[in-house]
Amino acid sequence: MKIPRILLAAGASGSGKTLITCGFLQALVNRGLKVASFKCGPDYIDPMFHRQVIGTKSANLDTFFASETCVRYLLNKNATDCDVAVMEGVMGYYDGVAGTSTRASAYDVADVTDTPVILIVNSKGMSLSLAAYIKGFLEFKENSHIRGVIFNQMSPMLYPRMKCLVEEMGVRALGYVPVVKDCVIESRHLGLVLPEEVTELKEKLMALAKILEETLDIDGILELAQNAGKLESETDALWESLLCQENSAFAYRAPRPLRIGLADDEAFCFFYKDNFRLLEKMGAELVPFSPVHDKKLPENLDGMLLYGGYPELHGRELEENETMRNSIREALKKGMPCMAECGGFMYLHEEMEDIDGNPHKMVGAIAGKVFKTNRLTRFGYIELQKNEKPEANRIPAHEFHYFDSTNCGEAYLASKPLSHRSWNCIHATENIFAGFPHLYYYGNPEVPKRFLEKCLAYKEKTV
């Protein structure tokens, strides 16, 4: 399958990847192109900004969570019928698992998908040293996949000279981005602020796109994308290869339709698009509701999903919505299956501190208190394994939070890959699976399968 594609990477976080990616996406949309966008790695917020531009949900590509075949399948599936696929890198280009490997790095995604890469180089405070910096990235791996360079925060006077220097190294200079003070996206403790919080975001991105049309070689970038190699197989063939894996849970289909409540509002908004796709493939109908605004759960639910987000920014509203808290607590007492992660897990506690350290009553399904810490408590990729009756098939996951709990759970052992660090986590009862780890269902389809099996049993029991 021929998918024109490009990956925008950088040497470090804070180099302008997200802003330039969004401006570039806007420029492509303005040209009338149908664009698919992707974020490398376990990121929720950057794809929200992509969505504001292209109008549909951006997807993630992660080689820690999913096999190489699965990553190529997800690229194929999400880019079907699109003119071009644009991927945004994660952290520094070669930065992967444990900080000492390239596994799950932006480079790894480029390598698995054979995607040409454009390196975004923050030029602030450098001139000739930029050539040495770029040369190091080109030569670190035998095939770096880097085919072009964009200079960020560069003056128009310096660019022509740097273009000549860089192209002598056999890589294309594809333009520069001047200092754009009016298009800065602010950050907070979990990363960027949400798109809805950026004043006049659409206007700012339109203004940035207009600048990029003048300073980037967009035709050259599209030419590079068009020259990306053909992927090894069609989408259907890739899916069949996943189904053919021994005892593959990808093949599960619930024998009856299942209505699954999905918490979806400003407090709970960290979603993987592909988690929804797999749940729906397995027979789930996702029914959105708001723990902030709605008075109770939707009717006739067979299960409930509480994903992450920013509940700590909405502690007062969540506490004041007592009828919703009671509705969730009573549903759980009656045995409704629930999967909750990070922010959703925090919401299930008896009490949660908000971002200012003020305590608020929450659902009360999990004994204990969530409290604010002054640093990232646990961060990065992990592998989960049951403490009781360990299984060979581990669950890949990740954690990223500044809050902690007096009762994190003991059902699973979380282990850091390429490290000796581990800790216990997750509450796993007959109907509740809840903890700080975020899960990506394509990494272990047994997780959504088991959840939906419990939802089916609950439905049959209540009917």
Give the pairing type, strands 349-353 and 359-361. antiparallel
Each residue's pLDDT, cut to its tens digit, for the chain (463 residues) gives: 689 999 999 999 888 898 899 999 999 999 999 999 999 998 888 888 888 877 877 899 999 999 999 999 999 999 988 999 999 999 999 999 988 999 999 999 999 999 999 999 999 988 899 999 999 999 999 999 999 999 999 999 999 999 999 999 999 999 999 988 766 555 544 455 666 666 677 888 888 999 999 999 999 999 999 999 887 667 788 888 888 775 689 999 999 999 999 999 999 999 999 999 999 999 999 999 999 999 999 999 999 999 999 999 999 999 999 999 999 999 999 999 999 999 999 999 999 999 999 999 999 999 999 999 988 888 899 999 999 877 767 999 999 989 999 999 999 999 999 888 999 999 999 999 999 999 999 999 999 999 999 999 999 998 7
Residue by residue, DSSP assigns 84-130 as EEEEE--SSTT--GGGTS-TTSHHHHHHHHT--EEEEEE-TT-STHH
Query: What is the model's pLDDT at position 190?
Result: 47
Query: What is the model's pLDDT at position 188?
Result: 46
State which H helix or E strand residue 79 sits in.
Answer: helix 68-79
To which residue do tokens 């004043």 refer?
199
Q: Is 461 helix (H, G, I), strand (E, B) or coil?
A: helix
CA distances from 435 to 272, 315, 398 (A): 17, 19, 11
- For residues 288 and 457, is the Cβ–Cβ distance under 8 A? no
**Active-site residue, selected from the candidate residues 22, 183, 342, 408:** 342
Query: What is the model's pLDDT at position 286?
Result: 98
| 342 is known as an active-site residue | yes
CA distance 65 to 396: 6
Q: Supply the pTM of this predicted model.
A: 0.91
